[in-house]
Amino acid sequence: MSVTRQNQLTTIAHKSYQLWKSLAIGTEVFTPSALCSCFAHKNDEGRSNGTSDERFLEYMQSLPMLDEAAVTFSLLGSLLYNEPAEKYIAHLVRNDPFADIPFAHQSAAVQTGLDILRGWHGRALKDPRHAVAQLEHEWSQLFAQTGTEKAPLYRSHYVKGVRAADGSMTDTVQEFYLLHGLATRLGRQKPFDHLGPMLQFLAYLAALEAQALGEWDFKQVDILRDEEFRFLREQINPWIGSWHHAVCATGGSGFYKGISYLCVGAITTFSDRF
């Protein structure tokens, strides 16, 4: 990649990062301060002994990516977890966050998703009220826990074919949350293996890894990377493709179809680190 193109991508990522951050903060499922930990890194301290120059460089090059991934996963999780509210959707239409994405913007799936969402945004600008009503209807048809939803958002449906909100399938997810004291912050109305909180948990881990990097705590970085790898491998990657296909099989405005492409592209890109 040319230096000019790399600079262009860096500028795009920074602009979209600031916008996505403003939309994501305050929408976290777990805690409002989870993302804030990655926005003020302590880079003025010396690194610990025993870290090779090569590994040190590798770590520090990851810092901007982790911030961008945290913001991206947080907003995507919120858009899936929360029913579309009129004021928030109107805010999305005014600010157009889908001009680009902070993380994984070179992913083919992400670019497909952005193309779909740009089309949705153009139509929403012409009739914002209709866009809100349409999204409310689509969210209910696709994701609401009615027993007839077309694209359930929880892992147990795709891995075991069940619609239960508790049991062994959700317990394994809950164990990850409990390690960080997060389980009690999740409302009972949705199962623990719901994709929205899962994406926000990835955001939480990425933010913690970024914080550890900023504090030169490379041992903690390794611990968090291992946890991210296991969470993706065990809890998300086995079924995210099936969920994506279920969303794409429906019609409608294209908003959630575009979001599902962004999710697949961002998850794949984050998984490729390992």
* pLDDT score recorded for residue 167: 52
Q: Write the pLDDT tens digit of every residue in 65-76.
A: 999 999 999 999
Short-list 182, 149, 153, CA closest to 165: 153
* pLDDT score recorded for residue 35: 57
Low-confidence stretches of the chain (pLDDT beneath 50): 1-9, 12, 32-33, 38, 40-45, 165-166
* pLDDT score recorded for residue 51: 64
* pLDDT score recorded for residue 34: 53
List, in sequence order, the alpha helices (H) in the chain. Answer: 3-24, 53-81, 86-95, 108-126, 128-142, 155-159, 168-179, 195-214, 218-231, 240-248, 255-271
Report angle CA 119, 124, 127 to the nearest 5 degrees: 140
Could you give the CA distance from residue 217 to residue 233 in angstroms, rounded to a whole number? 25
What's the CATH number of domain 65-154+193-271, 3.30.2320.50, 1.10.3720.10, 1.10.3480.10, 1.10.10.10?
A: 1.10.3480.10
* pLDDT score recorded for residue 169: 60
* pLDDT score recorded for residue 245: 97
* pLDDT score recorded for residue 9: 46
Distances (CA, A) of 269 to 36, 41, 130, 161: 23, 24, 34, 27
Q: Write the pLDDT tens digit of every residue in 92-129.
A: 999 999 999 999 989 999 999 999 999 999 999 999 89
* Predicted TM-score of the model (pTM): 0.87
